[in-house]
Structure 1
Amino acid sequence: MLTNLLKVRYLAVATILSSTLLLTGCQAQLSDYDNTTPNLKYENYFQGPMVAWGMVQDYQGKVTRRFCVEMTGTWQNNTGVLAETFYFDDGEVSYRNWQLTKVANDKYIGEAEDVIGEASGTVNGFAGKWQYTLSLDVGESNYHFALDDWLYQLDEYRAFNKAKMKKFGITVAELTLFFDKQTPLRTCDKKGA
């Protein structure tokens, strides 16, 4: 009986690992966006004021938070600052200041108050991908989440951002944002997203 139970567990673990490896191999790559336009350059797109609207979904796809972000980007040569103010639907207001550096034609690094270590980003065509570890307070506890963060520039003014928050390699939440910098610039509803 114990041998049969071990076989069943082994098969279950093998199936999960095989599925995970198969799905991992099917993920989008930046090379999928070769020769697409507009050419995303963070120093161009994140220059000046803009607004973004977003939501957080849990692992089941349920929307758990909505928010609006007012931000201003300033660049000098290859270094930039992206100052963000988040207005959440529950009344919370939070801030993040990205310190960004362009280190090669298609590569960037960044730091922020709630980012552990250094974020690294690469662009290709209209897409950009960032990877970093985010420190997040949840209730009375602090957790670190790995972020797989994609940005897609649609045109001169608009971009979409999709990020997966992972813990131990498992997606626990997804974030979606829509950026707009077309003038006249809209502003956030300070009473909540």
Structure 2
Amino acid sequence: MTRRLVLLALVLSIASCGSVDVTHYADQQPALNLERFFSKPVKAWGMFQKRSGEVAKRFEVDIVSRRVGNNLILDERFLYSDGTRQRRVWTLTPEGQGRWSGRADDVVGVAKGEIAGNALRWRYRLNLPVDGTTYEMSMDDWMYLMDEDTLINRTSMSKLGVEVGQVTLFFRRQGAGETH
């Protein structure tokens, strides 16, 4: 009986370790506006770290966007440190009150996002190819607008509820800092 109580207490304590709600950042400035941020071409630099902290892969991303009706289309072109390339095209749809949905070919179902203040939280499942095998990963993205031209992203990747690694990504709007 004591063993069951200890196990129950452990499970409850782990379950109560939920993450911060995006509304916690509602008063943070500058306020993130996806259409405005992606109104110029964007360059991004990132890395994937294994759970141990080892950097397993570095990459660069070029992003161009366009509007199609109510949707924001983000065309991402990845170049990885091992020379491989990848393309992901997101179709983002505003759902009202800071909520967004997103679709891409390697995203399982629909990504759900919410913006408050300078922060955006995306949650989705991604089919991730690794060494000839595709794994379905749960992605928990947090993006923070630092200034009008700089966005920082931190993503926790997990499989079956266990974190397998993290992605850190820095976005910079092209032409940033130039006078108009």
- Scaled by the length of structure 2, the TM-score of the pair is 0.90
The one of 120, 140, 148 aligned to 2:132: 140
Q: Rg: which structure is higher?
A: 1
Q: 1:59 to 1:99 in 2, by over 3 A?
A: same
Structure in which a larger fraction of residues adopt helix = 1
Q: Given residue 180 of structure 1, which amino acid in structure 2 is its aligned partner?
A: R
1:21 corresponds in structure 2 to 15
2:29 corresponds in structure 1 to 37
The alignment partner of 1:175 has SS state of: strand
The alignment partner of 1:48 has SS state of: coil
State the alpha-carbon separation in 2 of the partners of residues 109 and 31 from structure 1: 17
Q: Given residue 80 of structure 2, which amino acid in structure 1 is its aligned partner?
A: F
Does 1:80 find its partner at 2:72? yes
Structure 1 gap segments, 5+ residues each: 1-5, 186-193
Q: Given residue 57 of structure 2, which amino acid in structure 1 is its aligned partner?
A: R
The alignment partner of 1:31 has SS state of: helix
Q: 1:170 to 1:75 in 2, by over 3 A?
A: same
Q: 1:7 to 1:138 in 2, by over 3 A?
A: farther
1:170 corresponds in structure 2 to 162
The alignment partner of 2:175 has SS state of: coil
Alpha-carbon shift at residue 172 of structure 1 (Å): 0.8
Q: Tell me which moved more, 14-23 or 158-167.
A: 14-23
Please tell me whether the aligned partners of residues 71 and 82 of structure 1 are also in contact (alpha carbons under 8 angstroms): yes
State the alpha-carbon separation in 2 of the partners of residues 157 and 140 from structure 1: 37
Aligned CA-pair RMSD: 2.0
Alpha-carbon shift at residue 16 of structure 1 (Å): 4.2
The alignment partner of 2:17 has SS state of: helix
Please tell me whether the aligned partners of residues 38 and 173 of structure 2 are also in contact (alpha carbons under 8 angstroms): no
State the alpha-carbon separation in 1 of the partners of residues 58 and 49 from structure 2: 9
State the alpha-carbon separation in 1 of the partners of residues 51 and 12 from structure 2: 21
State the alpha-carbon separation in 1 of the partners of residues 135 and 150 from structure 2: 31
2:113 corresponds in structure 1 to 121
1:191 corresponds in structure 2 to none
Please tell me whether the aligned partners of residues 56 and 174 of structure 1 are also in contact (alpha carbons under 8 angstroms): yes
1:71 corresponds in structure 2 to 63
Alpha-carbon shift at residue 23 of structure 1 (Å): 2.1
